[in-house]
Amino acid sequence: ADAMDAPFSPAASSPVDGGELFVDMMSQPSRACCFFVHLARLPLTRRQVILGRKEQLLDSFPNPLKQVPCLVERDGFVLPESSAILKYLADRHAVADHWYPRELRARARVNAALDWQHFSLRRGAAGVTWFSLIARNMGMKTDPGMARAMLNVLRGALGKLEKTWLADEAPFMMGSSQPCIADLLVSEEIFNLTLLEAIDEDFGMPPTLDALLGDDHPRIIKFLAACQDLDWTEWRSMHGILHTARDKMAAKKKTKSRM
């Protein structure tokens, strides 16, 4: 069965079915894990955590790292970190092999892609939005210099994705016609850059994701479309919170520019 939705509650009962996945749908890794759970039809309950309300800091929150996503199984097993969760669930539930191949070298390539996205693409993409937008929303200071530095990291990572990881005509990474867990994490980092539309112009960021990608990244554009098409209806539903937040912040930006 597909994942069910339930809000996080300090008095929540013990995990049901195959366990609980604690997520905030504003979180890129959370969305990647949720999409995987949906596509693989895993018997997990999805628990919504609102990071903006600091629900992850409650004593009852199961992840001692105070981050999402977090997996909790019926016997009390707790697993943080998105890539670890995805790999564990793929093995635990014996999902289709293309998600996380059992063959040694094919699996090693997926692991390499996971490591690369975390230290390259995610660093740049999350850095851009954090230092130019999200930090302010969390009560911290933005940093235009760091935002521009992270934009350089992001541009370099997008170039590597276009020319190396998506070098073949196949829609997914490493020349595959079917997605792996790394595809989900990578695509979510890029989809999150829709928040560029809400960043103040004085930061010097590209105004939109389309402007960032331009005509130089046709394989990435094809890749993103392929990820959406895995289940367009679910993808659109999963990104509803993100797009609503973007629109609200973009409206504030326009109001500010008129003042």
> What CATH number is attached to the domain comprising 211?
1.20.1050.10
Q: Is the pLDDT of residue 212 over 80?
A: yes
Q: Determine the Cα–Cα distance for residues 124 and 156; give it in Å rounded to an integer.
A: 9
Query: Tokens representing 213?
Result: 């990608």
Q: pLDDT-derived band of residue 64, with 50, 70 and 90 as boundaries?
A: confident
Q: Are 127 and 242 found together in one domain?
A: yes
Q: Are 113 and 149 found together in one domain?
A: yes
The whole domain housing 179 covers 104-258
Judge whether 204 and 144 are in contact, CB under 8 Å: yes
Residue 77 lies in a domain: yes
Torsion, CA 52, CA 55, CA 56, CA 62, rounded to 10: -160
Q: Are 138 and 195 found together in one domain?
A: yes
Mean pLDDT score of the chain:
92
Q: Is the pLDDT of residue 13 over 50?
A: no
Judge whether 60 and 51 are in contact, CB under 8 Å: no
For the full predicted model, state whether its pTM sits above 0.75. Answer: yes
Q: How many domains does the chain have?
A: 2
Q: Are 35 and 122 found together in one domain?
A: no
Residue at a domain's end among 36, 61, 92 = 92
Judge whether 220 and 164 are in contact, CB under 8 Å: no
Q: Are 239 and 174 found together in one domain?
A: yes
Residue 149 lies in a domain: yes
